[in-house]
Amino acid sequence: MDEAYPELGRGITQPPLPPFDTNLGAAAQGAPLRPRPSSHAPGSSRGRGPADTAVDAMQQPALRLVRLGRVPYTELLGLQDRWLRRLQTEVGTEGLSGTEAGALLLCEPAGPVYTTGLRGGLTPEEIARLQALGAEVRVTGRGGLATFHGPGQLLCHPVLDLRRFGLRLRKHVAALEACAVRLCELQGLQGARARPPPYTGVWLDERKICAIGVRCGRHITSHGLALNCSTDLTWFEHIVPCGLVGTGVTSLSKELQTHITVDEIMPPFLVAFKEIYKCTLISEDSPS
């Protein structure tokens, strides 16, 4: 059965999970992650050299890194579906080579699009009004209510097998939050933090800078996070983002008072992702 993690924290279709791992939860709040234990004696690094480091890297889960650039939102969904079918077909087989655990899909939406999750969030009248503004409206299988995607926003969709990372769904959500928190820190924004449901995502005070909505079925995840870099925030004024009344939205450009593009933010985001997920990224020239 598919499992969804709504941004509002209600309607979770899986049984309650144990509390967050304190190591991962600390990272989501901005603290550095402690390294995973090595195969050597605990607390000792004696005898480790370049060969040991190479072995550790080989043992890490590997993800195909697919950078789509600025593309229509539907193109991202199409590629996500193809990777989902591949991973779901290969569950329990030897289809994925070695430590390969899926794909990390990154893009910037080419045009404005409003999306809703499993719990809806938009009436037919609201959909017609948003379409009249020149935006697409898409129903998706992620958790959460309505949100906006558009130019100036980084979309990160990890399509991965959680078992390769030793993660449950709730910890995967916390890891995504930790990536956005770490990225903000790397940009000099020390106040970024994750908050508990119904405020899933990353915030600067009462301003949301990163939305998160995921889906998980048979241990395979899809969808992910949307980080506002230089997004036109006026598009959010036409909805109640994620159904959270009385809260605002912000972007890296607004907070730093300088124009920050998605291309600029990609390298530090990948640094944060590899740090949090302890994985290897394999660049792929073709998104096929």
Return d(Cα 119, Cα 11) in angstroms, integer: 8
Q: Is there a domain that residue 18 lies in?
A: no
Q: Is there a domain that residue 225 lies in?
A: yes
Tokens representing 201 are 């995502």
Residues spanned by the domain of 230: 80-91+99-188+198-278
Q: Is there a domain that residue 146 lies in?
A: yes
Residue 42 has pLDDT above 50, yes or no: no
Return d(Cα 265, Cα 153) in angstroms, integer: 10
Q: What percent of the chain has pLDDT over 90?
A: 61
**For residue 142, what pLDDT band results from cuts at 50, 70 and 90?**
confident
Contact 178, 27 (CB under 8 A): yes
Here the contacts of 184-190 (C-beta below 8 Å, separation 24 or greater) are 184/209, 184/252, 185/30, 186/268, 186/271, 186/272, 187/252, 187/256, 187/260, 187/265, 187/268, 188/256, 189/252, 189/255, 189/256, 190/30
Residue 214 has pLDDT above 70, yes or no: yes
242 is catalytic: yes
Residue 237 has pLDDT above 70, yes or no: yes
Contact 229, 211 (CB under 8 A): no
Considering its fold, how many domains does the chain have in total?
1
Of 107, 156, 179, 242, the active-site residue reads 242
**For residue 178, what pLDDT band results from cuts at 50, 70 and 90?**
very high
Return d(Cα 272, Cα 269) in angstroms, integer: 5
Contact 101, 158 (CB under 8 A): no
**For residue 35, what pLDDT band results from cuts at 50, 70 and 90?**
very low
pLDDT digits (tens, 9 = 90+) for 264-287: 999 999 999 999 999 999 997 545
pLDDT digits (tens, 9 = 90+) for 77-135: 999 999 999 998 876 554 455 568 999 999 999 999 999 887 767 889 999 999 999 99
**For residue 247, what pLDDT band results from cuts at 50, 70 and 90?**
confident
Q: Is there a domain that residue 31 lies in?
A: no
Return d(Cα 232, Cα 72) in angstroms, integer: 17
Average pLDDT over residues 60-64: 94
Q: Is there a domain that residue 62 lies in?
A: no
Residue 244 has pLDDT above 50, yes or no: yes
Q: Is there a domain that residue 54 lies in?
A: no
Higher pLDDT, 57 or 198: 198
Higher pLDDT, 228 or 50: 228
**For residue 212, what pLDDT band results from cuts at 50, 70 and 90?**
very high
Q: Give the pLDDT confidence score for residue 146 in this predicted structure.
A: 87
Q: What is the CATH number of the domain that holds 206?
A: 3.30.930.10
Q: Give the pLDDT confidence score for residue 96 in this predicted structure.
A: 52
Q: Is there a domain that residue 142 lies in?
A: yes
Q: Is there a domain that residue 86 lies in?
A: yes
pLDDT digits (tens, 9 = 90+) for 248-268: 999 999 999 999 999 999 999
The residue whose two tokens read 């998160």 is 212
Higher pLDDT, 45 or 137: 137
